[in-house]
Amino acid sequence: MIENKPEVLAPAGTMEKLKVAIDYGADAVYIGGDAYGLRSRAGNFSFEEMAEGATYAHAHHAKVYVAANIVAHEGNLEGAGAYFREVRDNGIDAVIVSDPSLIEIAITQAPGLAVHLSTQASATNWETLNFWKDEGLERIVLAREVGLAEIKEIRKHTDIQIEAFVHGAMCIGYSGRCVLSNHMGLRDANRGGCAQNCRWRYDLFEMPTLGEKQTTLGKNQDGEIEDFSMSAVDMSMIEHIPELIDAGVNSLKIEGRMKTVHYVSTVANVYHKAVADYCADPVNYQMDPELVDELWKVAQREMSTGFYFGTPTEDDELFGPRRQQPHYKFIGQVLSYDRDQQIVTVQQRNNFGIGDKIEFYGPNFTHYRQTVTDLTDEWHHDIQRAPHAMQTVHFHCPYPVHPGDFIRAKEVKANVKVTN
């Protein structure tokens, strides 16, 4: 048994996602405040919401960190000291910062507030980690470009906490420092305004000295010209949890503050189970293939291991036909369950109805599958389908599900090969 179990750290773009992430196994969550963060379009938290979130987390033996990782320009530092003191006083466990000036302000003007170095700071060697430890930081979020062998070497030379991304989107810019959005859309990616330009689709041309421009792009299987993007696939290290833990990683970070509750609950659930299973019996641990299947039930791009085992290749870029595609949709959340009548009350999130094959899932990796055989609306009138967002419906369910459990349904799309 491994006693120092690493933390599963999940994203929380809203209060609902914060509570769901913790309910589904996250040991900590990271959120954004109203200032100094890199996700201006996420559901960022007010000070009052921070206090509510911290209270909920601490009641469930979890922690809350606030991202304040912008690259500060002139004028951005005004009020930072007061901001960090408010964050501290509302029960937040740490702030995640990249700019040295904001780090200095947090340490000197908000004593008692732990500071973690953001991945935006590109920490890639043990000398850098020890420098920041000497400055008073508690944890380093490694650059995404650090490989597993490098992490092992880093751990030999420092005892500061190490946090590493293990799942989610990967930025095409080195440690997220990109100016495409600034150049093409006048939106500063390093101050919360990323326009996701790398995800756009482009034509790529060769420009000869004379004559017409010639496309340099290939053709797909239908003979159509393929467009081009600079978009990376997503990261997934679910099959390498033992290597990460044995290398000395203290916190396993999931990307996705903009993602849905379906995504947050599923991914937190999966990584929580993998970590718990390995730490309980590391000698006999074998990864359950169902964990990978579970990850493919939420919307995401294709997946790779990023830089952990070498430099990514063209196979780690989104170009050409998709090799695999998610095939489930999120359809609702359990509000209550009547054990005597075996009736579940559900808040609908996507259209579903009689005849649909559905799957309930809950914390600790519980699953139950059934076909919907009956359906009534909020007033117990018989209906065939539930087409209205957030409507309350009821139907027969022999299995005792629980409030907070989620429901998904398999969705087969035309012209898409679905694999299980």
**Tell me: the pLDDT tens digits for 90-142?**
999 999 999 999 999 999 999 999 999 999 899 999 999 999 999 999 999 99
pTM, full prediction: 0.88
**pLDDT for residue 206 is more than 90:** no
**pLDDT for residue 245 is more than 90:** yes
Cα-flanking dihedrals φ and ψ of residue 282, to 5°? Answer: -65, -30
**At 179, is the pLDDT very low, low, confident or very high (cuts 50, 70, 90)?**
confident
pLDDT at 201: 74
Cα-flanking dihedrals φ and ψ of residue 342, to 5°? Answer: 55, 45
Helical segments of 122-260, H only? 126-134, 148-157, 180-185, 241-246
**At 419, is the pLDDT very low, low, confident or very high (cuts 50, 70, 90)?**
very low
**At 4, is the pLDDT very low, low, confident or very high (cuts 50, 70, 90)?**
confident
Tokens of 279: 């730490």
**pLDDT for residue 210 is more than 90:** no
**At 71, is the pLDDT very low, low, confident or very high (cuts 50, 70, 90)?**
confident
What is the pLDDT of the chain when averaged over all its residues? 88
Mean pLDDT computed over 261-270: 96
pLDDT at 73: 86
Mean pLDDT computed over 19-38: 91
pLDDT at 215: 55
Cα-flanking dihedrals φ and ψ of residue 309, to 5°? Answer: -120, 25
Q: Which residue has the higher pLDDT, 282 or 227?
A: 282
**pLDDT for residue 386 is more than 60:** yes
Longest CA–CA separation in the chain, Å: 81
Instruction: Identify the bridge partners of residue 376 per DSSP, sorted by sequence position.
Output: 382, 394
Instruction: Identify the bridge partners of residue 11 per DSSP, sorted by sequence position.
Output: 30
pLDDT at 414: 42
Per the CB < 8 A criterion, the answer to whether 33 and 73 are in contact is no
**At 15, is the pLDDT very low, low, confident or very high (cuts 50, 70, 90)?**
very high
3-state helix, strand, coil in the chain (%, to 5): 30, 25, 45
Range 335-339 contact pairs with CB under 8 angstroms and sequence separation of 24 or more: 335/392, 335/403, 336/403, 337/397, 337/400, 337/401, 337/402, 337/403, 339/400
pLDDT at 410: 87
Mean pLDDT computed over 161-165: 97
**At 258, is the pLDDT very low, low, confident or very high (cuts 50, 70, 90)?**
confident
Q: How far apart are CA 318 and CA 232, in angstroms?
A: 6
Q: How far apart are CA 185 and CA 197, in angstroms?
A: 9
Per the CB < 8 A criterion, the answer to whether 271 and 8 are in contact is yes
Which domains are delineated in the chain? 7-170+232-315 (3.20.20.380), 328-410 (2.40.30.10)
By mean pLDDT, which of 45-59, 304-318, 328-342 is the weakest?
A: 304-318
- Report CA Rg, the chain: 23
pLDDT at 226: 61
